[in-house]
């Protein structure tokens, strides 16, 4: 929800937010509508991306691990925040700080 609350500030930095979930499509779509998320949500129900990035089931949850990635316009990973448990959370102002550092 914090990303949604700071969405205008984030997009003003010439950035885009894309969330990814491994949830079943029907379960995730209800969540999106109920909280009013305006950024794209990618569905990866087979967890292909999470597995490729080695971010799947590291806490015996059989879920994708919570993680935040900042990728620049050239496709280079420039910052990441990887959770130490399945409840990992990063405040929006920390993400904005990282975005500001790469946008000069």
Q: Which residues contact 2 (CB under 8 A, 6 or more apart)?
A: 91, 92
The C-alpha atoms of residue 22 and residue 46 are separated, in whole angstroms, by 7
What are the tokens at 71?
Answer: 């990728």
pLDDT value at residue 89: 84
Q: Strand 77-82 relative to strand 19-21: parallel, antiparallel, unpaired?
A: unpaired
- DSSP letter at 45 equals T
- How would you write the pLDDT of the chain (104 residues) with one tens digit per residue? 678 888 889 889 888 888 888 876 565 556 666 667 788 878 888 999 999 999 898 888 888 888 888 888 888 888 988 888 777 888 899 999 989 988 76
């Amino acid at each position: 929800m914090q990303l949604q609350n700071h969405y205008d500030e984030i997009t003003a930095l010439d950035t885009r937010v894309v969330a990814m979930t491994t949830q079943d499509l029907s379960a995730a779509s209800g969540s999106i509508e109920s909280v009013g998320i305006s950024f794209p949500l990618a569905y990866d129900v087979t967890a292909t991306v999470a597995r490729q990035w080695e971010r799947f089931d590291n806490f015996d949850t059989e879920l994708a691990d919570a993680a935040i990635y900042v990728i620049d316009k050239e496709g280079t990973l420039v910052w990441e925040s990887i959770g130490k448990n399945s409840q990992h959370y990063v405040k929006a102002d920390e993400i904005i700080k990282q975005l500001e550092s790469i946008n000069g």
